[in-house]
Amino acid sequence: MTQNESTQTGMKKLFTTSSIATGGRNGDVYLGEQKLHLKTRPAHSKREGTDPEEMFGAGYAACYLSALGEVGRRMGVDTTQAQAQAYVSLYAKSELEYVLGVELHVYVPGQSEEKTQELLELAHRACPYSNATRGNIKVKLVTLTEPLV
């Protein structure tokens, strides 16, 4: 199958991107068309670089905020100053089986905790990362009352 073929029948493909990895957790990744280069390292290593769970968390948090923005626009709620922090945990299910867990901590200024939680749940249904992981990993949504940065 080529990169232009759709693997999802009945859906309109919006775009495709790619990344290159070499060396696993002790290597390099090159992200997207710009080939942004990052060194990879094992989790908690003192080496310079990032680990796959950090990259997954960054992607999830950014994607989730985009979904939150879409939900906010549809509901007439300004989410442009929202912030998200993804905590990604790696678990050993067995000797050769590993799984992820995610906690998304989200701050939406100017909203009650109840309204924020409603927005978070709707964004969780819309987010492509949430849809990709639903039923596969546990994702916990946490409403924050103070900004992250």
CA dihedral of 88, 93, 97, 99, whole degrees rounded to 10: -20
Averages of pLDDT over runs of 10 residues in the chain (149 residues) are: 61 94 96 95 92 96 98 97 98 94 98 96 98 96 96
Q: Measure the CA–CA gap between 93 and 60, rounded to whole angstroms.
A: 22
Residue 8 CB contacts under 8 Å (≥ 6 apart), including other chains: none
CATH superfamily entry for domain 52-144: K homology (KH) domain (3.30.300.20)
Residue 62 CB contacts under 8 Å (≥ 6 apart), including other chains: 84
pLDDT score for 1: 47
pTM: 0.90
pLDDT score for 7: 64
Q: Which residue ranges make up each domain of the chain?
A: 1-50, 52-144
Taking alpha carbons only, the member of 13, 54, 64 closest to residue 31 is 54
Reading the block at residue 131, the tokens are 């849809």
pLDDT score for 9: 78
Q: 3-state class of 88 per DSSP?
A: strand
Alpha helical stretches, state H, 2-149: 52-75, 113-126, 128-133
- 1 burial type by CB count under 10 A (0-12 exposed, 13-18 middle, 19+ buried): exposed
